[in-house]
Amino acid sequence: MKTVTLAHYYTTKEVQDMADHVGDSLDLAQRAKESNAGRIVFAGVRFMAETAKMLNPEAEVILPDWNSTCSLVEQTDVFDLWEWRADHPDHVHVMYINSSVGQKALADYIVTSRNAEPIVQKLLEKGQKVIFSPDRNMGNWLSRKLGVEIPSWSAVCEVHDQFDRQRLDESFAKYGGRIPYLIAHPESPMPILEEANYIGSTAGMLDWVDRKTLDDKDIFVATEFELVRMMRERRPDLKIWQVPVIADCRCNECPYMKLNSAAKVKAAIAGTGGTVINYLDPDMMARAKVPVERMMKFNETGKI
């Protein structure tokens, strides 16, 4: 059986070297949809593999480790989310792709960190009111960026939410008047985003670093460690640092992505390991696919 292996930027270098494609959530969703392989091994987290199955139902989609979930999913109870949406009947429900199939079935539009701003902007231009779930930090960023109140759900990414403004300021103070650059993922807390020179998706930040011309400023990055590692490999001429976290721990690494060990990915490719995504309710999957397809249509046409 033809197998294609997809890996997210937050997996380890060893796993990325085994993959046919490495990318962010949007890129990998598009790759899954367009794939003609009989088997898709998705080295990411569970919601990504579920999305791949929705977009390519004929393929056998395998998740190397069942426990590779996401804090945004785990912090969002579906029934509570349904009630929250019901409290905003005149709002369009925009949902971050970091959500389960059951959660996506409650959305009007799915977005990624790459296209959340333009999609919400388009909806606002049409006179729509918007609610946003599940990422609180991203929702707050959208509210601030677009200058409109957007009620947001309360979940956070347990990696990005750990980045600490006080410790960042202490790091910056060492540079005197020569303040370094700061680039950040919109899952980061608002005190971090307020200082950022650039805010964007994982792919957007990587592109920013790729295009950066050399000067005497260091670059601090607020995102998961593996992307920082990739930046350093691709641009060894730049001084690239990760934004410090609240505690002295390894919380700058996604524990769920790291469950995709090379051995588990290898077993999934061989068809001898991992979890086949065959448990999704067809009716729920059909409802969840609608807002995902709306996002895909926007990516192709720029229209909603």
How far from 239 is each of 180, 195, 207, 214, CA to CA, in Å? 10, 19, 16, 10
Q: What is the pLDDT of residue 10?
A: 97
User: Cβ contacts of residue 201 below 8 Å, gap of 6+?
Assistant: 24, 26, 112, 113, 114, 185, 186
* Average pLDDT of the chain to the nearest whole number: 96
Least Cα distance to 284 among 62, 13, 40, 50 occurs for 50
Asked whether residue 251 carries a pLDDT value surpassing 80, the answer given is no
Q: How many CB atoms lie within 10 A of CB 281?
A: 12
- Whether residue 31 contacts residue 56, with contact meaning beta carbons closer than 8 Å, is answered with no
One DSSP character per residue, 241-301 reads EEPPBSSSSSTTS-TTGGG--HHHHHHHHHTSSSEE-----HHHHHHHHHHHHHHHHHHHH
List the beta bridge partners of residue 96: 111
Question: Can you tell me whether residue 17 is helix, strand or coil?
Answer: helix
Structural domains of the chain in order of their starting residue, each with its CATH number:
3-70+257-278 (3.40.50.10800), 160-242 (3.40.50.10800)
147 vs 176, more confident: 147
Residue 250: pLDDT band by 50, 70, 90 thresholds? low
Average pLDDT over residues 190-210: 97
pTM of the entire predicted model: 0.95
Residue 157: pLDDT band by 50, 70, 90 thresholds? very high
Instruction: Tell me the pLDDT tens digit for each residue of 270-284.
Output: 999 999 999 999 999
Helix (H) or strand (E) holding 26: helix 25-34
Least confident range of 149-158, 174-183, 269-278: 174-183
Q: Which tokens belong to 250?
A: 């390894």
Q: What is the pLDDT of residue 249?
A: 67
Residue 248: pLDDT band by 50, 70, 90 thresholds? low
- Whether residue 269 contacts residue 247, with contact meaning beta carbons closer than 8 Å, is answered with no
Q: How many CA atoms lie within 13 A of 28 on its CB side?
A: 33
Q: Which tokens belong to 212?
A: 């950066």
